[in-house]
């Protein structure tokens, strides 16, 4: 069964090649596995690299872009479906509704804000979808350490570790998503 896989990642065109290579690998893997990508709808950065590789590999590309960003001429011209939202809040809602799973590639403030929101919503019981961080060359090691500190100091229940996974490879990320059942879903007040 085809899945719509959301990819949160950088919109920067000024990153090291290793990040674009992983984004392209992810896009190719999404497309060749019969899945589709849901992403921020732009033609820049890792977002573009992942989406364009998905398209070239036979996957459907669903872009969701706010009017403000579209007005800057940054919208994808190859998306199979390009949805324009009023603002970022609506964009995130549409992305969540359209997606069956979430992957975070390296990114900055927006990427972290988006992936943290889907973790929080899962914690509260609003969804039970797979959440994956692809840790390119240790990019997310400090974030993982921060999460560990939250568990150590009892700010988060140890059972919440099951809500997401950090992986090193695209293959592991897709394998996790394709085999994910969500049966162990635990919410904050269970």
pLDDT in tens, 121-171: 999 999 999 999 999 999 999 999 999 999 999 999 999 999 999 999 999
Task: Inform me whether the pLDDT recorded for 188 exceeds 70.
Answer: no
pLDDT tens-place string over residues 19-68: 999 999 999 999 999 999 999 999 999 999 999 999 999 999 999 999 99
- Alpha-carbon dihedral sign for residues 144, 145, 148, 150: negative
Domain boundary assignment for the chain: 4-178
- Band (1; pLDDT cuts 50, 70, 90): confident
Residues in the chain: 190
Structural class in CATH, domain 4-178? alpha beta
8 A C-beta contact, residue 13 and residue 47? no
Order across the sheet with 4-8: list the strands. Answer: 81-85, 61-66, 36-39, 4-8, 101-104, 130-134, 165-167
Q: Which residue spans within 9-129 are E strands per DSSP?
A: 36-39, 61-66, 81-85, 101-104
pLDDT tens-place string over residues 61-81: 999 999 999 999 999 999 999
Tokens linked to 102: 């979430």
Residue 154's region, left for phi above 0, alpha for psi from -120 to 50, else beta, is left
- Distance between CA atoms of residues 170 and 155, nearest Å: 30
Task: Inform me whether the pLDDT recorded for 100 exceeds 70.
Answer: yes
Task: Inform me whether the pLDDT recorded for 190 exceeds 70.
Answer: no
Helix 170-178 to helix 17-32 angle (10° resolution) is 30
Task: Inform me whether the pLDDT recorded for 184 exceeds 80.
Answer: no
Q: Which of 84, 81, 139 is nearest to 115 (CA)?
A: 139
């Amino acid at each position: 069964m085809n899945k719509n896989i959301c990819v949160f990642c950088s919109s920067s065109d000024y990153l090291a090649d290793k990040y674009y290579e992983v984004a392209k690998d992810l896009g190719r893997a999404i497309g060749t596995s019969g899945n589709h990508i849901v992403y921020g709808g732009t033609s820049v950065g890792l977002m573009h690299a992942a989406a364009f590789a998905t398209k070239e590999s036979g996957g459907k590309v669903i872009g969701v872009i706010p009017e403000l960003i579209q007005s800057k001429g940054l919208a994808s011209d190859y998306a199979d479906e390009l949805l324009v939202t009023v603002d970022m809040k609506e964009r995130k809602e549409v992305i969540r509704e359209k997606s069956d799973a979430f992957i975070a590639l390296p990114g900055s403030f927006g990427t972290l804000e988006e992936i943290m929101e889907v973790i929080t919503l899962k914690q509260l019981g609003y969804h039970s979808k797979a959440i994956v961080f692809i840790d390119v060359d240790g990019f997310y090691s400090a974030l993982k350490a921060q999460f560990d500190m939250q568990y150590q100091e009892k700010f988060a229940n140890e059972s919440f570790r099951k809500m997401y996974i950090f992986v090193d490879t695209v293959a592991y990320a897709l394998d996790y998503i394709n085999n994910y059942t969500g049966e162990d879903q635990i919410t904050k007040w269970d």
